[in-house]
Every structure is written in C-alpha cells, then in structure tokens.
Amino acid sequence: MSEYDDATRLEAGEDPARRHGTFHEEWMIGNAVNGGLVMTTALQALGEHLAADPTETTEHVNPVVLSAYFMTASQPGPFTVTTEIMRCGRRLSTGQMTIHQTGDDGQPVERMRAIGSFGDLADLDVQRQASPPEMPPPEECVSAEQAPPDFLANAKFLERLDLRLDPRTAGWAVGKPSMRGVMRGWLRLRDGREPDTTMLMMALDALPPVAFDLGLFGWTPTLEFTGHVRRRPAPGWLQVSLGSETLGGGMMEEDALIWDSTGNLVAQSRQLCGVRLPR
C-alpha cells in the first residue's frame, strides 16, 4: 500500500456518518499536520459516506469543490471525521465534513470544518481552460532535497513528495526571493502513487507558501481554502503554479493552478492565509 493511501485510510464503524483515522508525524509541516492531507482525509470520508448511502447517485465519485476552514492545528495521533450529506442533486452531491481530535483536557477539539460537493468528472467536454506556464523539465528544476537540512527538519511532509521548483521561482531558498509573489514546480508523490481527484486537493496546498517569494518566511497558517477540481488527472507529473496579488492586514491570498502531464488544467484554488510581517 502506498504511504499516501495509508495516511488517508479510515475505519468505519456502526455510525455511517463517523470514521476514524490517525495522522502520522511523517506528514507534518512545522508544528501541524499538513492542511492538504487533512482536507484530503475529510474528502475521503465524505466520498465513502456518499458511496455507502443507498439514496445517493453512485456516479458522484469525484470531489469537485471544497471549502475548508481551519480552526486549530492538527496533531499526529487519532482523529474522527464526521460527515453529513446535505443534498444529493442531479449534478452534485453536497456534504459537510468536520475533523476532531481529543485535546489535552480530554475534550474534543475541532481542527477543520468544510463543505464540499462531489460529481462525475469522467468524460468531460472542456471548452475553455488556462494553459500551463513555460517551465524547464523536472530534471532541470530544483529538488526539495537540495533545501537546507534545518528547513527539511521542520517539513517532513516534503519528504513524502517529489517536488522540483522552477529555478526562476526558487531564489527565496538562497535568500533571493523574486518579490513577484510567484512559485512554480513539478510535483508527484514520492511513493509513486499516481494522482487522482482527491489527491489534487492536497497538491493545491503542497508547495512552499508563495509568501516565501515575497521574502516572508514566517508561518503562514491557512485560514480558509477553497479548491475546485476540474478534471481527472492523467498519470505522471503535476505542474503547480502559485501566485498572490493581495497582501494586507496580516493576511494574504494564495492562488494555485495545477495541470496534469497532458497539459490539461485539473484543479485550482484560492486560500486566505495569515502572514507575519517583518518589524
């Protein structure tokens, strides 16, 4: 079993709306479990709930849109996902996902709450899509393995990925951010597992924060994240492009786009994150 599949594996019990899993230390970034993995796990739970519901349209197997709000940082250890099916429509089936962990005082602490919709992204007829940016091939890009060891020590999550940054947007790693608010790279799972529509939601939040390219190296917690999946990705490398145009009041926006190995746009997102400005 791939380590990604293992990390998002859930146990179902008698309650059809409740599933249990364990966050592993290997998926941490800084002092929290990677938010992308948390979202992917929540989607996994809603997908399983929809698939098990006898009244549900079984064709709605792909996450199409997800809006997630992060309340507290997820920690390694057991968690519970609670799901609620809100509406099964012709085009989309929509539900709510909540992830809890047990706090130090033994009480449940809410980590993330999200609403999202599943649909059928097979055999899509696509009329318009953004084209991928020009980028050198993966072998001419900067591997995350080349990052300073003290950086990698706080980003075990990056070891789960094979990430190659476009050298033109990797200057921040050697103290020379471009100050344009751009980051681009090639991405795939280190364990060789091919991307699917659920994994794309993690890939949208997998690159280093675009804030780094603005010279802002502090912790940039995701406050809200909304991702749209446009198509089922082809096997192979994903091409990820981040940008940001807005920064103010201690918050910034980060936009992400992903193309698959055939050059089709497969996912896009916008997140609002906190940012600490240098004094």
55 sits near a second copy (criterion: CB under 8 A): no
Examine residue 96 and tell whether it contacts a second copy (CB under 8 A).
Answer: yes
From residue 207 to residue 226, what is the string marking binding to a second copy with x (rule CB under 8 A)?
-------x--------xx-x
Among the listed residues 51, 52, 130, 174, the single contact to a second copy using CB under 8 A: 130
Q: Which of 89-101 are b and which e, b meaning 16 or more Cβ less than 10 Å from the residue's Cβ? A: eeebbbbbbbbbb
Q: SS in 3 state form for 192-244?
A: CCCCCHHHHHHHCCCCCCHHHHHCCCCCCCEEEEEEEECCCCCCCCEEEEEEC
- Figure out which of the listed residues 13, 248, 278, 279 binds a second copy, where binding follows CB under 8 A: 248
Residue 264: which residues within 8 A CB-CB, separation 6 or more?
A: 126, 129, 230, 231, 233, 234
The answer to whether 69 contacts a second copy (rule: CB under 8 A) is yes
Q: Pairing between strand 265-274 and 238-243?
A: unpaired
How many residues sit close enough to a second copy to count as binding (CB under 8 A)? 51
Stretch that binds a second copy, among 3-11, 99-107, 165-173, 243-251 (CB under 8 A): 243-251
Instruction: Assess 253 for contact with a second copy (CB under 8 A).
Output: yes
Among 14, 15, 107, 128, binds a second copy (CB under 8 A): 128
Q: Residue 91 or 176: which CB sits closer to a second copy?
A: 91
| Paired residues of 252 in beta bridges | 247, 273
Min dist. Cβ of residue 28 to a second copy (A): 21
> Residue 28's CB: how many other CB atoms inside 10 A?
20
Cα radius of gyration (the chain): 18
46 binds a second copy (CB under 8 A): no
Nearer Cβ to a second copy (32/252): 252
Output the CA angle 148-133-265, nearest 5 degrees. Answer: 105
- β-pair partners for 262: none
Neighbours of 217 (CB within 10 A): 16
Task: Return residues touching a second copy (CB under 8 A).
Answer: 64-65, 67, 69, 71-72, 86-87, 89, 91-92, 94, 96, 110, 113-115, 117, 119, 121, 124-130, 181, 214, 223-224, 226, 228, 230-231, 244-253, 265, 268, 270, 272, 274, 277
